[in-house]
Amino acid sequence: MSFRERYLNQQMLLEVSPAVVFFVSNYFGGLMVATAAVMAATTITTILGYRLNRSVPVLPLVTLCLVLLLGGATLALGSETFIKIRPTLGSLLFAGALALGLLLQRPLLERVLDARIDLTRRGWHVLTWRWVAIAVLGALVNEIARRNFSTDTWVLVHTLDMPVSILLYISITRITATRYWSEAIDQSDVGTDQAGQEQKKS
């Protein structure tokens, strides 16, 4: 397994874990218990992410702030609305930040992923707008679920939305990279893999 694959697996586990905790806690204790649990889980995964990477990207920090703020409001006021709109606000803020970066000629996605993939300028623009579309779709799905279905059904949709969204982001990125790749090989991965092979030989 390459360094990039290990990194992606770790990141996926950190991002999916709070949603799983939320689902299980809601099943056994209801939404208020699940809200407290996801606040704790998101805090823990953010700390673990920092320990693994020695830095915390902006998106996990924004997610943590939204979870703590809206989760706290849910517990304090006893209203389900606050925690239910958290995915919508998070997705729209993410989409807005990506779109604003393009409009200001400072693509945020390129800064985040540049160390892992190497696309043409056109490729970064196409990929960013596709990520914006996925984020807006996620917000739309959350609004439909929270407005039209029971709390338990919404929790299920919210739990499934996270891994599905991650798979969509990864798939869209790979499809876009296939067309707009500016270098055939990620040199950082090659160097890491070669070093590992040399250690095995020695």
- Summarised one tens digit per residue, pLDDT across range 96-128 is 999 999 888 887 888 777 656 788 888 999 999
Q: Which two tokens stand for residue 138?
A: 């996620």
Kindly list the domain boundaries of the chain, sorted by start residue. 3-186
State the chain's mean pLDDT as an integer.
Answer: 84
Of 20-34, 80-94, 166-180, least confident by mean pLDDT is 166-180
Per residue in 113-171, pLDDT (tens digit) is 765 678 888 899 999 999 999 999 999 999 999 999 999 999 999 999 988 998 899 89
Residues 6+ apart with CB under 8 A from 27: none
Are 28 and 155 in contact, with CB atoms under 8 Å apart? Answer: no
Beta-bridge mates of residue 119:
181
- The pLDDT of residue 6: 60
Q: Residue 129: which of 144, 111, 107 has the closest Cα? A: 107
Say whether pLDDT at 80 is over 70. Answer: yes
DSSP element (H, E) containing 52: helix 31-53
Q: How many CB atoms lie within 10 A of CB 126?
A: 17
Q: Which two tokens stand for residue 12?
A: 């996926």
d(CA 121, CA 7): 25
- The pLDDT of residue 106: 81
Q: Residue 86: which of 72, 106, 105, 104 has the closest Cα? A: 72
